[in-house]
């Protein structure tokens, strides 16, 4: 599974969420993600949307294919 991780050290106008990151291990209260040495509490993450791939054939050469990956956009959270 992939998750967004809340970044507590953000300056103004910077994204509040990092990721998406891949979960390596999980417990009922925390997760371990790839590339981050510390465990992260479950309240500091949220699920990332699925990635989708699109294949388009080239109009000039039918054997040539262009692949395009679309990921979920960065989550927008209103500040109070």
Q: Answer whether residue 80 shows pLDDT above 70.
A: no
Q: Specify the length of the chain in residues.
A: 80
Q: Answer whether residue 33 shows pLDDT above 80.
A: yes
Picking from 7, 18, 34, the residue whose alpha carbon sits closest to that of residue 74 is: 18
Six-digit token pair at 13? Answer: 């106008």
Full residue range of the structural domain in which residue 55 is found: 2-70
Q: Does 32 map to a domain?
A: yes
pTM comes to: 0.61
Q: What number of helices (H) and strands (E) belong to the chain?
A: 0, 7
Q: Does 53 map to a domain?
A: yes
Q: Give me the sheet containing 30-33, strands edge to edge.
A: 40-41, 30-33, 17-26, 2-6, 45-47
Query: What's the mean pLDDT in 6-25?
Result: 88
CATH number, residue 56? 2.30.30
How far is it, in rounded angstroms, from Cα 13 to Cα 15?
Answer: 7
């Amino acid at each position: 599974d992939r998750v967004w991780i809340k970044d507590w050290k953000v300056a103004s106008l910077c994204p509040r969420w990092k990721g998406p990151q891949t979960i390596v291990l999980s417990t009922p209260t925390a997760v371990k993600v790839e590339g981050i040495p510390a465990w992260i509490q479950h309240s500091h993450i949220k699920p990332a949307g699925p990635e989708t791939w699109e294949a388009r054939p080239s109009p000039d050469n039918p054997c040539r294919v262009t692949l395009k990956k679309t990921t979920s956009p960065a989550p927008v959270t209103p500040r109070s």
